[in-house]
Amino acid sequence: MNYLDENEETEEKQQPNAFMKKLFEERTILIYGEINQDLAREVTSQLLLLAAMGDEPIKIFINSQGGHVEAGDTIHDMIKFVKPEVIVIGTGWVASAGITIYLAAEAKNRYSLPNTRYMIHQPAGGVQGQSTEIQIEAKEIIRMRERVNRLIAEATGQTYEKISKDTDRNFWMSADEAKDYGMISKIIQTSDEIK
């Protein structure tokens, strides 16, 4: 039996909307969890709407284990596409497709909270079917790996060869190590440190 009255239920449903509205007013987007098509659509919509509302910077907080490569590419490309400056802040962990999104911001706009961990690796995929289909998919995964490695190399200043070696397996970095690697510009403790 539910003892909540109608007003309490309505207030509970409105709280997340009020929270998201406040973040939107502050020009802040959250990317938390798995990168997938639904998240890509949501973030793309938010970026386009915020860009239409004005040229003030947009902040994106990222805490993601990664996910679908193409969904990450969609968000990456949209960050570069919109006119307002985009500032990214890594928190928790930024891994795999989350790195692709994170690196879309200009180097000077890539911040990290101190306990954030970063991970790069090669794309993974699974396929079943005839040997020809498996061969086609394997070639596409190799092309995807080369493209992502070039993206990481360009964004960090590391050589393509180093990135290829480092992404051969999961390559974890602390915030300090990621800063030395060229992934982040500044480790911050408070929001006042974002310029």
Is the pLDDT at 184 greater than 90? The verdict is: yes
How do beta strands 58-67 and 28-35 pair? parallel
State the catalytic residue, choosing from 64, 76, 112, 121: 121
96 flagged as catalytic: yes
Q: Which domains does the chain have, with CATH numbers?
A: 6-190 (3.90.226.10)
Is the pLDDT at 145 greater than 80? The verdict is: yes
Instruction: Name which of 140, 114, 107 is nearest 125 in CA terms.
Output: 140
Whole-number average pLDDT of the chain: 91
What region does 10 belong to: left with phi over 0, alpha with psi -120 to 50, or beta?
alpha
State the catalytic residue, choosing from 64, 76, 96, 112: 96
Tokens of 12: 């509970």
pLDDT tens across 40-53, in order? 999 999 999 999 99
Tokens of 92: 């928790």
Task: Look up the pTM and report it.
Answer: 0.87
The stretch 100-105 carries a mean pLDDT of 98
Tell me what percent of the chain is helix, strand and coil, each rounded to the nearest 5.
Answer: 50, 20, 25
Is the pLDDT at 1 greater than 50? The verdict is: no
Instruction: Name which of 127, 124, 183 is nearest 157 in CA terms.
Output: 183
Are the beta carbons of 46 and 20 closer than 8 angstroms? no
